[in-house]
Structure formats: structure tokens, C-alpha cells
Structure 1
């Protein structure tokens, strides 16, 4: 869990970073100077600069206004071998499918098949549940369309799908999908951080993200 607080001054931030670097030196003095840097964003335009020390990560939020930057305290970058994880008991494997509610199955299939190019997984049963649905292949995982009442409001959703509950799919070329959406007249927004990702909604206002990683 990251603990964040406002940066009161550059000196204070430097002291915090020095404390964390000191912990890294104590953990592994020989490798303390080995560090990697990566950028991350949270789909809301916030960028984070992650510095990986030996056994520790230091995360700072990047902001144009230094007075509004956030310092995130360091946390271990490698799991503690003595820490008991529940996944050791039940065997976590992978994400299998994402369930998406729809009002009209045929309308949703037209969108997911004819615009996005997804194919139905005929091996999955669609007649054993008390509602209509379909299983669509997304690489080795699936999207399960379920024709059920949607408890979520269909109006008043955020314009940018990255600020709403959304399903993310990895693709190879965002620019080609952008052209497809343009031709179909489907509105979209791009990642606020500038990374190759596009956000849009299906006919039932379910938010989707298609991104290159």
C-alpha cells in the first residue's frame, strides 16, 4: 500500500529519499547503486516516476507544479519470502473472463464482432444459464456478454473511460483501431498521459480500453 502526502519542501523529499536509499544500502550494500527508472500513469493523466533500488521502490508523482507533487514512501520491490500469501494455497493462474452486461445481445454482438472483430467461442455453452449470452475470444481470455438488467446508470458517466470501471484489452496497433472507430462514428478519448491507449464505450455504455504495452 502506498502512503502519499504532499511534498512540503524539496529538502524534506530529499531526506525521505535518503532514508529509503539508506535502507537499500543496509539490505544489500553491494547492489545499492543498481537502480532502474520507469514511468507509469493511472489513466487520469497522473504520471509516476518509479525508481527501483536494491529491494526497494521509490515512487514520485510527476506534476508540472512542484508544490502539488506527491511523494510516495518506498516499498519492497521483491516479495518477502517469509510472508505468507493466500495464492500459495489456492494456486492463482490467470484472468479467465470479464462479464459485461448488455440490454440487447444482438446489438452487442454486432458491435463486438463486426466493429471490434471479436469471435464467438463456440466451445463455451450459451444455453445452460437462465439468461441469454455469448462468449467472445480475447486472446487466451474471454468476454462474457450477459443479457441482464444493468444496475448502473447509463447517463452521467465520465467522458473519459479511464475514469470509469473499464475492461482493458492489449492490442498491437492503436492507430489502426482509431481509424476503425472513426469510420464507424464511435466517439473515443485517448490516454491523458500520451501513451498508446484509446478509450470508448459499447452500446450499453460499458467502458473499454484498448492499449499497446
Structure 2
């Protein structure tokens, strides 16, 4: 389902394409995004004159860029659910939590309740301290606060 804004002047966007992350160590970040989050590396334009990697899965891309001065990057250690983050939907928070324990990945578990609907959230950090949420957020319905037009996305084969 795609929601179209009725606001005049809004950009005609289609979807999220990618996020870009600066890394202290491209190698450590590649390992994390591939082996913990399940992304796979894809071809990156060879014309770039800086070190990086492109990853893809779940319909989005993550572009990892090697920082020119890794030591100047802020060091974040505390997992704070109110910090900037990206969020991934999962089928089973229990299964993800079990896997995080097996991989010794530190996490914080939070539970949100809205009108009898529960959402479980797991918050982790990537190797550079960027926070990632894994949740069952689809439990909460998307309820627009203003009138919108709903369009069905058609996939042509």
C-alpha cells in the first residue's frame, strides 16, 4: 500500500532507496550488516574514488563508507531507544532475541502498548554505535491524521 499526500507541493517520492553510514572500519561494518542483519553486498560503481560497499536486502540499500578520519567519529556505547535509528520489521521478536543472545550482540528490549496492542522492540548498535531497532511494529495500524488517498502498487512482470 502506498499513501499519497494530498498536500500541494510535496515531492513525488516512490520509496526509500538507501541509507548511508560512515564507518570506522568498513570490514567490521560489512561483517555486521551481512552476518547479523542479513544484507548482501552488491556491485558499486567503480568510478567512486573512495572506499565503501553497497549492501541490499529487505527492499532497501545500505551504503557503507569508510571514514577518512575514523578516530574523529563519536564513540557511542549506551543503547538509548530514543536515539536516531533505523527499524526493521521481523516475524518473531522471540527468535531474533534468541539469535542475538547466541551471537553475543548486546541489546535492549522494550515493550510498547497502545490500546491493548503490544509492540516488542529490540535495540542494537552496529560497530560504529548507530542504533538499529528490530520490532513487530506492524502490530500497530497506520492511521493517518489527515485525509489521504490510498493507491495500490502494481508490479509488472
User: Match for residue 56 of structure 1?
Assistant: none
TM-score by length of 1: 0.53
Confirm or deny that 1:119 pairs with 2:40: yes
Question: SS state of the match for residue 120, structure 1?
Answer: strand
Q: CA RMSD, aligned part only?
A: 2.2
Q: How does 1:151-170 map to 2 (within 5 A)?
A: 153-155=74-76, 158-160=78-80, 162-170=81-89
Question: SS state of the match for residue 205, structure 1?
Answer: coil
TM-score by length of 2: 0.69
Deviations 1:169-192 (A, max 9, x none): 222222222112111111101124
User: Match for residue 200 of structure 1?
Assistant: 124
Structure having the higher Rg = 1
After superposing on structure 2, the runs of 4+ consecutive aligned residues of structure 1 that deviate more than 6 Å are none
Q: What are the ranges of 5 or more consecutive residues in structure 1 without an aligned counterpart?
A: 1-78
Question: SS state of the match for residue 195, structure 1?
Answer: strand
Which structure's residues are more often helix, by fraction?
A: 1
From 100, 104, 111, the equivalent of 1:181 is 100
Give the paired residue count. Answer: 126
Partners in 2 of 1:121 and 1:192 — Cα distance?
35
User: Match for residue 138 of structure 1?
Assistant: 57
Check the 8 A contact 2:52/2:66 in 1, yes or no.
yes
Confirm or deny that 1:102 pairs with 2:23: yes
Partners in 1 of 2:57 and 2:110 — Cα distance?
21
User: Match for residue 91 of structure 2?
Assistant: 172
Question: SS state of the match for residue 47, structure 2?
Answer: coil
Question: SS state of the match for residue 196, structure 1?
Answer: strand
- Taking a change above 3 Å as real, the CA distance of residues 163 and 152 of structure 1, as seen in their structure-2 partners, is farther
Check the 8 A contact 1:158/1:164 in 2, yes or no.
no
Q: What are the ranges of 5 or more consecutive residues in structure 2 without an aligned counterpart?
A: 113-117, 139-157
